[in-house]
Amino acid sequence: MFRARKFKDLEKRLGYRFKDQALLERALTHASVKGSKNARADNERLEFVGDRVLGLAIVEILNEAFPEATEGELARRYNRLVKGETCAKVGRELALGTFMVLSDSEAESGGRSKPTILADAVEAVLGAIFVEAGFNKARDVVRRLWQSEGEPHPKASVDAKSALQEWAQGQGLSLPHYVEVERTGPDHAPFFTAEVRIKGRPPARGEGASKRAAEQAAATALLEREGVIGKGLHG
């Protein structure tokens, strides 16, 4: 029950709920457990799959976002977004280390915070989503998790909160007001839900690994709902 409860928190951060919890646990199982008495399938095969899924998802997103970019520009953006450091950063934002299944020796040596282990686990989780639900679902999770990196999304340079404020003023409405609705997760990796309110309009909500990210997501949701921007332009 405790592990299921932990996975529920992780799934909320991912924006995807696994039908097969054993598949998710496999994605979080490091190869260091191979020599233990309770050895189980590790995540290396899923990491191999997830590496390819991530690459294709980023290519597709970049191709949409930068139709005028040269091959060299796309390559530079791509390399930054799929490199180990970026994947490890995403893993830290997910607090993935707290969910990892490691050997005692690996856990004692700080394995839960090692960049290579976190990066491989992120790819393994993406691989697991692909195996269970297909590429489109996995790509949606990539869009969600990589949105803080900015570049993969069309018009990512636009500040949604500023855009919403300008739109509200142009419509003669009151200025947007943001409220923190919920905060979950451990102190070192919180997850926020924010709501934006404008008098005379229904509120909109967004989620993110920081208050600002959640507020930006809420502003984007309201702008999309009002037809000011197209859906998906900000991830």
Catalytic residue list: 51, 123
d(CA 21, CA 132): 11
C-beta of residue 165 within 8 angstroms of C-beta of residue 174: no
3-state helix, strand, coil in the chain (%, to 5): 60, 10, 30
Task: Say how many C-beta atoms besides its own lie within 10 A of residue 177's C-beta.
Answer: 11
C-beta of residue 78 within 8 angstroms of C-beta of residue 7: no
Token pair for 38 = 């309770």
Residue in the block written with tokens 């691989």: 127
Q: Which residues are registered as beta bridge partners of 166?
A: none
